[in-house]
Structure 1
Amino acid sequence: MADLTHLRSLLDSQAASLQVPGAAVGVIVDGEEHVLTTGVTSVEAPAAVTGDTLFQIGSTTKTVTATAAMHLVERGLLDLDGPVRRYLPDLRLADERAAEELTVRHLLTHTGGFLGDIDDGDSWGADALAASVATYDRLPQLFAPGELASYSNAGFRLLGRLIEVVCGEPYETAVGRIVLGPLGMESSFFFPWEVAPRAHAVGHVVRQDGPHAAHSWGLFRDAMPEGGLASSVRDQLRYAAFHLGTATVDDEPVGAATRELMRREHVHLGAPWSGIGLPWLLEERAGLRLVTHGGNIGNLQLSTFVMVPERGFAVTTLTNSAPGKALGALVTDWCLEHLLGVAPQPVRLPLREPGPEYAGDYDAGQWTLAVDEKLTARFVLRPHLVAAGVEGMPDMPLALVEGTDDLTLATDPRQAIGRFLRDETGQITFLHLGGRAARRVR
């Protein structure tokens, strides 16, 4: 049995240091499952985090949506390379040709080309997804389907609507029937009224005087396919074991060949991930292939989810404040080093001075990245988000990697996190940062 004593100490100490009120960690290694927890669900009404505490897992939900979609593909009800309009003939995009060319695979690989970060509605009605997709003709078409990958919440919202139409039932019902039920994920829910009577984590905003509980759920019903699932760390381990192929499941949502297809690289990306599967985000570290997908609900609840299929390994970290992203990275790094023998490689990328050509404004939809001549990126939220009390992001000091248009953090230049993209004339047209393509507007 793996000795996780030091991981438990790291979890306790780093959660306190980073001001993460509560966290739950699940690990699968050597055929065994381990659960570690620390802290409380809320600083206002403290209750100890347990292995059954529900956290919002954010965008890890996309892989659950994709699993349901691939179930339909396996059964011939969806064609992976078939046009979306075959199933949604009334679909309208800003670009008619893009609407004709858009396929299910484009949605799964974040290559649909239309603006990916869109506003949520304010409805919990059964028609929320349909109503949101009906507005897609207002979304700018940034590039042609398949031309480029740009992380797309809007694409997964559309995929959720496809599942509704093909199954003839609400998205949440279909996913429960296809994925959650067969995998025994009895502590996973989409609706806040299902979560409320159960032990659950509350998201926190971290200020100078410490974490403060946020009185917000963070999502409405139209966002369920891209990030709406609340789940316990034990259920996340059940989900990981299924995708690793180490679980015994009588009624598998998808077979082994489809799971491998989902983990395979379908789009080569570059920083921050090496590629995109269906829709797993792929990384390589010292020869190990990492299959990942974390989540973030409004910088209130953040999660990590990492598998190494060739080693039958998985680790997930669920947290309830923004620094939980850093905590999840520390937990993952510890596991890779101490359980799989992958020591971190201390590398400092060679940097070069930026020229004035990079300075400008880059439109990411819900915010603009204002980049100055020193390559400091300032996140400018849309006014309606500011009015709604959405927390902004701190300025991000960037640096160029020598000999390339690749970007790294100036304060921590160990790995590339994005790049500037040029058109055929050499003009900079996009800032690709954190997997998202932001179009240059100035």
Structure 2
Amino acid sequence: MADLTDLQKLIDHEAEALGVPGAAVGVIHGRGRHVLTTGVASVDAPAPVTADTLFQIGSTTKTVTATVIMHLVERGELRLDGRVRAYLPGFELADEAAADAVTVEHLLTHTGGFLGDIDDGESWGPSALADAIAVYGGLSQLFPPGAVASYSNAGFRLLGRIAEVVSGLPYEELVRRVVLEPLGMTSSFFFPWEAATRPHAVGHVGGDDGPRVAHTWGLFRESMPEGGLLSSVTDQLRYAAFHLEGAATGQAPLTGETRALMQRDRIAVGVPWKAIGLPWLIDERAGLRLVTHGGNVGNLQLSSFVLAPEHGFAVTVLTNAGPGKRLGELVLGWCLEHLLGAPQAEVKPSLSRDPVAKEYTGGYYAGQWTFQVAAEGERLRVRMELAEDLAAAGVAALPELELAFLDGGERDTVVMVTDPGRPAGRFLRDESGRIAFLHLAGRAAQKLPA
């Protein structure tokens, strides 16, 4: 096994260079579990990050929600092809046909077709999920169920509510009983008052004098099924070991057959992933098949979670600032090369030199933000405009993106100029051939009228 001293040096150096105040990294390789940490949980109260520091893991929580759903499927209380209305009579969407057709599997694979990023409430009450689902009758239907995968937080809120109704338990209690306790995840929680009495990281934004604390929690109770879990790197390794090999200290939530089913390709995506499972995001790097699902809470706490099941390998990176996404990529690249012998091939960009057509420019609405796309010669510049309530809550917008088309590449597919070897998204056309959506980072944003 490679000497992880070199990985520790990379983490220390890159976290400082990127402006990430603190990070925790967990690695499973062979029979070993390893934890590496760097920096502090908060620049205002600089306690060192440890193996027990809690981070908001964001959308990795979706796989926990899916583990609960598949547990209920195994018990015969849910069916993958079961219609949502079979479990939530009277469920409504703006499109009646879609509301009648959408199934549990559609929700797990992000193919429900309705608007996926929606306004958050501000409740911590027990009815938060039920109240959130009650307004889905106003959600616009972008695609028929099953037609297009578009990343959907709204779909996972709905799954959380279905789990509550079927089990008769609050979502958080159900997760505790089915997943956290049986896997020995004793440092994983949902509520801020649980984190307040334990070592925990806070989110940071960049400032002129370096990272500064963002004084916001970022999530409320209706968001728990899509991204609300707080966890330590130690617990994330326990969770990874379960999905790799079924490791559990109590009654395992799922059989090996169901874990494998969750990790199989369920629907092809194209970009930026190869496929979506239930609901794992399936990727390929350097010839390796990767089963992944990271998280992002308000661009303040970012994490990555990657399994290579055929190699008994996992890596998770928990961070407390926006550049943590890049740190996670660097850690993954090091691990693939030095632990699995799969260095990433050097990519030579072959970017289009043709001026970008005006048809691609304009605003693209994604629910909680709008992408403003402008052309500069042969490049596209994409700027995120946050909804007023998100901006007021301290959520940080993503930095401006620079996109380009590849010479000889598939029509309408774009790459990041800084990472031209990996398609980042594509423009989708309607039946008449006009640009209708920007499908970026797995989400479909609808083109606004000029």
1:209 equivalenced with 2:234 (yes/no): no
> What is residue 185 of structure 1 aligned with on the other side?
185
The answer to whether the 8 A contact 2:215-2:394 is kept is no
Tell me the amino acid that sits aligned with residue 405 of structure 2.
Answer: L
Tell me the amino acid that sits aligned with residue 424 of structure 1.
Answer: E
Q: Could you say if the C-alpha distance between residues 114 and 434 of structure 1 is closer, same or farther in structure 2, counting changes exceeding 3 Å?
A: same
Tell me the amino acid that sits aligned with residue 423 of structure 2.
Answer: A
Report how far residue 414 of structure 1 moved.
2.3
Match of 1:379 among 378, 384, 391: 384
Deviations 1:36-75 (A, max 9, x none): 0111111111111110111110000000000000000011
Report how far residue 208 of structure 1 moved.
2.2
Unaligned runs of 5+ in 1: none
Aligned positions, number: 442
The answer to whether the 8 A contact 2:303-2:324 is kept is yes
Tell me the amino acid that sits aligned with residue 430 of structure 2.
Answer: D
> What is residue 294 of structure 2 aligned with on the other side?
294
Cα distance in 1 for partners of 2:200, 2:311 equals 32
> What is residue 362 of structure 1 aligned with on the other side?
364
Tell me the amino acid that sits aligned with residue 361 of structure 2.
Answer: A
> What is residue 234 of structure 1 aligned with on the other side?
234
> What is residue 398 of structure 2 aligned with on the other side?
393
Report how far residue 139 of structure 1 moved.
1.2
1:423 equivalenced with 2:439 (yes/no): no
Cα distance in 2 for partners of 1:108, 1:58 equals 16
Q: Which moved more, 1:96-105 or 1:372-381?
A: 372-381
> What is residue 256 of structure 1 aligned with on the other side?
256
Report how far residue 30 of structure 1 moved.
1.1
1:402 equivalenced with 2:407 (yes/no): yes
Q: Which moved more, 1:103-112 or 1:410-419?
A: 410-419
Report how far residue 384 of structure 1 moved.
3.0
SS in 2 for 1:380: strand
Give the TM-score, by structure 1 length: 0.98
Unaligned runs of 5+ in 2: none
Deviations 1:291-327 (A, max 9, x none): 0000011111110000000000000000001111111
SS in 2 for 1:225: helix
Report how far residue 373 of structure 1 moved.
2.7
Tell me the amino acid that sits aligned with residue 319 of structure 1.
Answer: T
> What is residue 327 of structure 1 aligned with on the other side?
327
Report how far residue 250 of structure 1 moved.
3.9
Give the TM-score, by structure 2 length: 0.96
> What is residue 433 of structure 1 aligned with on the other side?
440
Deviations 1:313-361 (A, max 9, x none): 0000000011111111101110010000011111134222221221121
- Identity rate of aligned residues, in percent? 64
Cα distance in 2 for partners of 1:130, 1:297 equals 22
Cα distance in 1 for partners of 2:392, 2:22 equals 29
Tell me the amino acid that sits aligned with residue 367 of structure 2.
Answer: G
Matches within 5 A, 1:33-432: 33-245=33-245, 247-352=247-352, 353=354, 354-374=356-376, 375-403=380-408, 404-432=411-439
The answer to whether the 8 A contact 2:54-2:201 is kept is yes
Tell me the amino acid that sits aligned with residue 137 of structure 1.
Answer: G
Q: Could you say if the C-alpha distance between residues 141 and 278 of structure 1 is closer, same or farther in structure 2, counting changes exceeding 3 Å?
A: same
Tell me the amino acid that sits aligned with residue 370 of structure 2.
Answer: T
> What is residue 21 of structure 1 aligned with on the other side?
21
Spell out structure 1 runs of 4+ moving beyond 4 A. Answer: none
Cα distance in 2 for partners of 1:308, 1:392 equals 31
Deviations 1:163-192 (A, max 9, x none): 000010100000110111100100000001
Report how far residue 400 of structure 1 moved.
1.2
Report how far residue 382 of structure 1 moved.
1.9
Tell me the amino acid that sits aligned with residue 181 of structure 1.
Answer: E
